[in-house]
Amino acid sequence: MKLTTLAIAIAAASLSFSAQAADIKFGGDFHVGYKSSFGDNNGKHLQDEGSELWMNISEKAGGLTYFAHVELEFDGGIYGDDGDNNDGDESDDIEIDELQVGVQGKFGKVIFGDIENACDKLEVGGDWNEFYAASDSRGDCGGDHEGTILYTKKIGKAEVGISHNTDTDENSAAVRYKANKNLSVALGYIQRKGDLDNIVSASITAQKGKFGLKARVNDNETSSNGDTGYSVFAAYSLTKVDLINIGTDNDDRVSLGYNRKLSKNSKLFIEGVKQGSGDIEHAVGVQYKF
């Protein structure tokens, strides 16, 4: 017990010493809930969806800010890809989702590593769902992330970005304009090599009183039927802590969701989705974000 206490004290002292030279921040979010459909979780109804932990480290020197970011994602939830949490092999349960380093100054920001391309980085839109998130694969820019070099710079209310993928030789450019706190729009372009089609993307996030809108559209073949990808979500705030939303996408899916804020960092979510003539799927769970 004394050795354990000593080890903890040494680790805390080391972290405190390091923090004098660098700013270290930790964060993450956890989503756990009941899902009616098994999906890829090997017959498990109790699932997590997109839970992650991240760490940011930065320090200033010579008028520049140098930084690093790492993000761990719980891939496959608490069961992993093999559906068995007791086999002693949990190597596939947690994966590095993002790993990047960069520098920022008056010239803008340059980032290297596993990071979104310029189109994905600057797009807006999305949705309010946690388990049935249509915008994750419908209407978003797409493209490859590993081996990306990204440059961004804010110019007034706009932010521009360009990126190059060193593995696929893919290039991307985008611009995001934030008119005010209630309206943001973005345009993006991805130039791909070989027989792959180039991608043009547009997205918007808008808020007017109790009403909200999030939409994305692009010409990438992200849907099963090869049509233009899109997702559109509308939301209405019933109270300061209660929100309902409805959405649809190019794969003939319609979803309905309800979120209730439980505390500063946590919320309850209830979601239902129906695709074409398929059965209605539903999920209920809690998200904790810090």
Percent of the chain with pLDDT over 70: 76
CATH 2.40.10.10 at 107-290, yes or no:
no
Please report the pLDDT score of residue 250 as a whole number.
82
Distance, CA of 44 to CA of 35 (rounded, Å): 8
Please report the pLDDT score of residue 33 as a whole number.
85
Nearest to 134 by CA among 248, 283, 50: 248
Flag whether pLDDT at 181 surpasses 60: yes
User: Band of the pLDDT at 132, cuts 50, 70, 90?
Assistant: low
Q: What is the mean pLDDT of residues 207-213?
A: 95
4: its two tokens = 């354990």
CA distances from 138 to 35, 51, 55, 104, 269 (A): 21, 20, 29, 32, 21
Q: What is the mean pLDDT of the chain?
A: 81
6 phi/psi in degrees, rounded to 5 = -65, -40
Domain spans, the chain: 23-106, 107-290
CA distances from 105 to 47, 61, 62, 153 (A): 42, 10, 10, 10
Please report the pLDDT score of residue 48 as a whole number.
77
Distance, CA of 238 to CA of 126 (rounded, Å): 20
Question: Which helix (H) or strand (E) segment is 14 a member of?
Answer: helix 2-21
Residue 91 CB neighbours (<10 A): 8
Least confident residue range of 3-7, 11-15, 164-168: 3-7
pTM of the complete model: 0.80
Higher pLDDT, 238 or 17: 238
Choose the most confident range, by mean pLDDT, from 43-47, 72-76, 174-178: 174-178
Distance, CA of 177 to CA of 187 (rounded, Å): 9
